[in-house]
Amino acid sequence: MTFEERYEQFEPMIFHMMKKLHVTRDHDLYLQEGRIALWKASEKFEEANGEFAPFAYQYIRGGMLDLMRKQNKLLERETVKSDEYWQMNMDITEDQLLEIDMLAPYAEGLTAHQKKWFWHTFVDDMKISEIAERHQVSVSAVKKWKKGGVERLREGR
C-alpha cells in the first residue's frame, strides 16, 4: 500500500484527533503534524506487533500532543501587548468564519431543527444535552434532529 493510499484511509483519524484535542488554531500545522506522524508510523510499523490502526492512532496523538507542548511553551514565553491581543481575537473570529464557510454547503439540505443540531455540534462543539437545554426541548428531540440530519448528510442531499 502506498503512503497516499494509507493517508486517504487514515485522514479521518487525523481530523478526529484534532477535534478530540480541541485544536482551535493552526489547523494546517496540526494536519501536517498528523501526516508526518502517519508517515513515521508507516515506516516503523512491523506486522508482527499487531494491527496498524491502533499503532497509527498513538503516533498521531503523540505527535499532536508534542506539538501542543511546544506551542504552549512558546506562548508562555511571549508577552501579549494590547494591540496583539485584539489581533489574536480577530484571528480566532476569522478561523470561525472560515469554518462556517466550509460547513455551510453541508447544511443547505437540512431542516431548521437539523440545522440547529448541525451548527451547535460542529461549530459550537455542544453536546446533545446542551443543545436541548438551549432550545428548551427534550434530549430525545435533539437526537431525532441528529438522526435525520445524519441521514440527509449521508444521502448527499
Overall average pLDDT of the 32-50 stretch: 90
Residue 61's pLDDT is 93
Query: Cell numbers at residue 99, please?
Result: 469554518
- Could you tell me if 117 and 131 are in contact, meaning their C-beta atoms sit under 8 angstroms apart? yes
Overall average pLDDT of the 4-11 stretch: 90
Q: Quick one: DSSP state of residue 109?
A: T
Where residue 129 falls among pLDDT bands split at 50, 70, 90?
A: very high
The C-alpha atoms of residue 92 and residue 98 are separated, in whole angstroms, by 10
Q: Quick one: DSSP state of residue 26?
A: -
CATH 1.10.3470 fits 90-156, yes or no: no
Domain residue ranges of the chain, discontinuous segments joined by +: 3-77, 90-156
For 130-157, the pLDDT digits (tens) are 999 998 999 999 999 999 988 888 887 4
- Half-sphere CA count of 126, side-chain side, radius 13 A: 19
SS3 81: coil
Q: Report the Cα–Cα distance between both ends of the chain, in Å, rounded.
A: 33
Where residue 49 falls among pLDDT bands split at 50, 70, 90?
A: confident
